Amino acid sequence: MSNGDDFPACRARSSQDTLAFLDRFRPGAQAEVRGQLSPEVLDIIDSTLPSGWIPIEADAAMGRAVFELLGSEGSRRFWTRFTAHHVESPLLAGPVRAALRLLGTTPASLMKWMPRVFPTVFRNVFDVEVVRLETSSAWLQFRVHSEVFWKEPFYAIVLESVVLGFYEITKVAGSVDVSRNEAQRVLRLNATWGPRGSVPPKRAKTRSQ
């Protein structure tokens, strides 16, 4: 694990809340995931104050165990529900409420706020930029600094699921596509959505360039 105070990191509360939410998604899942983690990783996640930072390696180990247990589609459903449920958590409630209060309850308002929301969860992992934002679509770019984050396929599913969770929160139908630019080490997220009150979101896709 990394030392110092500038290492790529994840907020401890995010990892702790993920573990806690597993049993709400599938009874017994938390114990199964914990059983796949090393004592060192479990100690880092469990003993760190919720407001503290843990090395991205610890969060990645947990996320990888979730992905291996639930599979691609199961993981996508899990993190979508996790996002929709945890917008009221102490970690995200402030930024999300501010976005909805200032800009309205729409996917666009939440997309616009993502460059402010993600630094509350990840540090020195990636920079996020809203490249284009329109009434019913958005294009975001994640320039990844962390080798661990870049190599773990489930993190792209997490990004997709955050957007799908936004669709659930705002009650719209939508799709999201994440592509990888290996040369630039950039993840490009394209999202489109319909009017409020439309049908449930479509399945997300991930592809490489």
pLDDT score of 109: 85
Domain count for the chain: 1
pTM for the model:
0.85
Average pLDDT over residues 101-109: 71
Residue 126 pLDDT more than 80? yes
Q: What is the CATH number of the domain that holds 64?
A: 3.90.1520.10
pLDDT score of 113: 85
Average pLDDT across the chain, whole number: 88
pLDDT score of 121: 94
pLDDT score of 200: 52
In a domain, 4, yes or no: no
Q: What is the tens place of the pLDDT at every residue in 57-83?
A: 999 999 999 999 999 999 999 999 999
In a domain, 2, yes or no: no
**Share of residues in the chain with pLDDT > 90 (%):** 71
In a domain, 102, yes or no: yes
In a domain, 113, yes or no: yes
pLDDT score of 93: 53
Average pLDDT over residues 138-166: 97
In a domain, 203, yes or no: yes
Range of the domain at 127: 9-208
Q: What is the DSSP string of the chain?
A: ---SSSS-EEEHHHHHHHHHHHHHHSTTHHHHHHHHS-HHHHHHHHHS-TTSEEEHHHHHHHHHHHHHHHHHHHHHHHHHHHHHHHTTSTTTHHHHHHHHHHH-SSHHHHHHHHHHHGGGTEESSEEEEEEEE-SSEEEEEEEE--HHHHH-THHHHHHHHHHHHHHHHHT--EEEEEEEETTTTEEEEEEEE--TT-PPPPPPEEEE-
In a domain, 23, yes or no: yes
